[in-house]
Amino acid sequence: MLSCCVWRFFIFLALCGSVTAQRTFPTLQHLRSGSSEQAQGSAVDGLLRRLLGTRASEFIVSVNKSLSNDSLDVCELRSTRNNRVVVIGSSGVAVASGIYNYLKYFCNCHVSWSGDQLDLPRPLPKLSGVLRIASPHRFRYYQNVCTLSYSSVWWDWPRWEREIDWMALNGINLPLALRDRRHCGRRLYPNANATRLGPWAHFNCSYSCAYVLDPQDPLFFRIGSLFLTQVVKQFGTDHIYNTDTFNEMTPPSSDPTYLSSVSRAVFKTMTAVDPQAIWLMQGWLFFSDSAFWKPAQIQALLHGVPLGRMIVLDLFAETEPVFSYTQSFYGQPFIWCMLHNFGGNSGFFGTVESINSGPFEALHFPNSTMVGTGMTPEGIEQNPVIYELMSELAWRKEPVNLAKWVSLYAIRRYGSTQENLGTAWKLLFASVYNCTVAHYKNHNHSPLVHRPSFHMNTDLWYDPGQLIQAWKLLMDAAPALMSKEPFRYDLVDVTRQVLEVMTTWFYLDIVDAFHKQKLPELLTAGGVLVYDLLPELNRLLNSDRGFLLGVWLERARSLALDEIEAQLYDMNARNQLTLWGPSGEILDYASKEWGGLMEDYYGQRWALFVHTLVECLNSGRPFKQDTFNQAVFQVERGFVFNGHKYPSTPQGDTYDIAYRIFLKYYPQALKKL
């Protein structure tokens, strides 16, 4: 679910690197980093010091833009006689990405949101010759207009610096840098020719119903150019501007002439301020409102801008590609993007076969206008394996062998060659990470994180037996690997996924017992879920910093200037994860399986559900969903305002908790298969 602003500009700041392309569009040739070669090299040196400490001195880095003669990023690495590695690249990002390739495939090291594994060999492995790494894609885009809200809204500078380092290591040269300003237009310009659009996502007009200004109104140009002038004055420019005119909003007219006039007016505003402006637009609207956006309407909007002066993000291309039915966006350049995640939800998910093949199929599509790849998740800090795979594919010319790739991933993530680790990950890649269901959106549908009812989604796109097997293999390997942060995180995450599946099984038992009026069976299934499984899961999640509600809330409060503001931020941080609106307008859209939430939000809802069903059987009264919804809303709203402080540091021993859960629930899981 994407932002619904009518008029907003975002500037994209190149990350110390040039931005270059596999199909030549002369209109894009001026898009290059404004940083000097020396500045880019210094930036990589700083990254290495933060990442490797004193061992950073074993890398000699430099940037030489002339290394590439076709505007595509290139990096070359070679070893010296004294065991140092010389790295030269066409941009700072190319150098950083080349170093990470070396760290991954020669040193078996790993960097991720959920921890690093950086046991570098001593001395560094020697390269037999010159290792040359090149990207076939000019642009490697990252983030979504929602990511700031769902993931990074409360970050401080150290966390931002860490993310920028991660971007550079993974080759990102076109990251979203969001700058948003809203205008009180109706108050300042009461006579403006503006049309009020309809409500958005179940919110009333107190929170939505934005206005769209007629592009023929002189104010359209005046307001837009004044705003963009100030943006460029304050932040500078790399000449790429993102604006989404009708994102998740239906235009007031389907007339192609009107739609062309809108895009023409937007572009005129951009070029009045920056004659070299390139408009970057999300293509989400064409998919999300396909009933409105037919070929004539799409082509009209896109052709209001000269060909090559707009880049379209095919935002959900791994599942719902738009380029394939719009003749490559009717000639406008586009970036093939993997969306993957909605709302920053927890839970394993991936479409690895589609991700592995999709960019290459798009590149070879007839008359393809593809100019890059991108990652556009609504939320991050989840499923790190998917993002490592996608970012690496941007540097490859053909798909990888997925089984081989993920086996090597396991080795470098854990710093161990135990064969069962690779086997575990191959099982995960063959099941939970390989959704092949057509049109499937990765929005955690598990009953665990949704308001209980008799009509919950219990479907799985994978064989849970393979997940259970992977769980056992990781548990077997755990005693030797608990010192590795990425392994501890994965042990929690795999166990969490197993218990998510088992919650669905217990839910089905509860529903079956209620419908058959078997009170003992209802008490058994409901009792195990409410009084053992969910509390155990809460304890497990509280044992790892990557799954703590307290971290999210502590960061929110830390940005406040006083206690009143801290309480406001705390309330908003809780509300987004739960009600998402004053009355649950987008209930559980941004659900997270975190310690604290599991106990005081999800656990309390399930306890009320089971208690209500038991009362119904005892009294002979039917279960009424509307009555239950009213009661459970008080529980949900109570969590938002409870003021409870949750741990922001891990509690308990991860292995002890996971092993106890394994001993109790692994045998039960086998019986369910």
- pLDDT higher than 80, residue 13: no
**What is the arithmetic mean of pLDDT over 272-283?**
97
The 8-class DSSP code of residue 11 comes to E
Q: Let me know if residue 85 belongs to a domain.
A: no
Domain count along the chain: 2
Q: Let me know if residue 101 belongs to a domain.
A: no
User: What distance lies between CA 131 and its chain's CA centroid?
Assistant: 31
Element (H, E) at 142: strand 139-142
My answer on whether 372 and 490 are in the same domain is no
- Report the CATH number that the domain containing residue 282 is assigned in CATH: 3.20.20.80
pLDDT of residue 360: 97
Residues paired with 281 in a beta bridge: 312
Q: What angle do CA 635, 636, 639 make, to 5 degrees?
A: 85
Which residues span the domain enclosing 637?
429-436+463-672
Q: Let me know if residue 365 belongs to a domain.
A: yes
My answer on whether 373 and 467 are in the same domain is no
pLDDT of residue 190: 63
My answer on whether 375 and 490 are in the same domain is no
Distance of alpha carbon 581 from alpha carbon 147, whole angstroms: 18
My answer on whether 379 and 233 are in the same domain is yes
Pairing assessment for the beta strands 370-375 and 334-338 based on DSSP bridges:
parallel
- Report the CATH number that the domain containing residue 581 is assigned in CATH: 1.20.120.670
Instruction: Note if the pTM is more than 0.85.
Output: yes
Distance of alpha carbon 39 from alpha carbon 62, whole angstroms: 10
My answer on whether 368 and 506 are in the same domain is no
Distance of alpha carbon 615 from alpha carbon 138, whole angstroms: 63
pLDDT of residue 23: 63
Q: Let me know if residue 448 belongs to a domain.
A: no
Q: Where are the alpha helices (DSSP H) in 80-154?
A: 92-105, 147
My answer on whether 365 and 484 are in the same domain is no
Q: What is the pLDDT of residues 457-485, one digit of tens each?
A: 999 999 999 999 999 999 999 999 999 99
Q: Let me know if residue 105 belongs to a domain.
A: no
Q: Which amino acid is at 579?
A: L
Q: Let me know if residue 164 belongs to a domain.
A: yes
pLDDT of residue 192: 67
- pLDDT higher than 70, residue 182: no
pLDDT of residue 19: 36
My answer on whether 507 and 616 are in the same domain is yes
Place 14 in a pLDDT band, splitting at 50, 70 and 90: very low
My answer on whether 478 and 370 are in the same domain is no
My answer on whether 340 and 473 are in the same domain is no
Residues paired with 415 in a beta bridge: none
Element (H, E) at 79: strand 74-79
Phi/psi at 141 (nearest 5 deg)? -90, 155
Residues paired with 310 in a beta bridge: 279
Q: Where are the alpha helices (DSSP H) in 66-138?
A: 92-105
**What is the arithmetic mean of pLDDT over 79-95?**
97
For 232, the token pair is 């460029």
Place 33 in a pLDDT band, splitting at 50, 70 and 90: confident
Q: What is the pLDDT of residues 245-268, one digit of tens each?
A: 888 889 999 999 999 999 999 999
Q: Let me know if residue 469 belongs to a domain.
A: yes
My answer on whether 147 and 295 are in the same domain is yes
Distance of alpha carbon 436 from alpha carbon 350, whole angstroms: 9
My answer on whether 153 and 276 are in the same domain is yes
Q: Let me know if residue 665 belongs to a domain.
A: yes
pLDDT of residue 600: 98
Cis peptide before 125, with omega less than 30 degrees from 0? no
My answer on whether 345 and 488 are in the same domain is no
Place 85 in a pLDDT band, splitting at 50, 70 and 90: very high
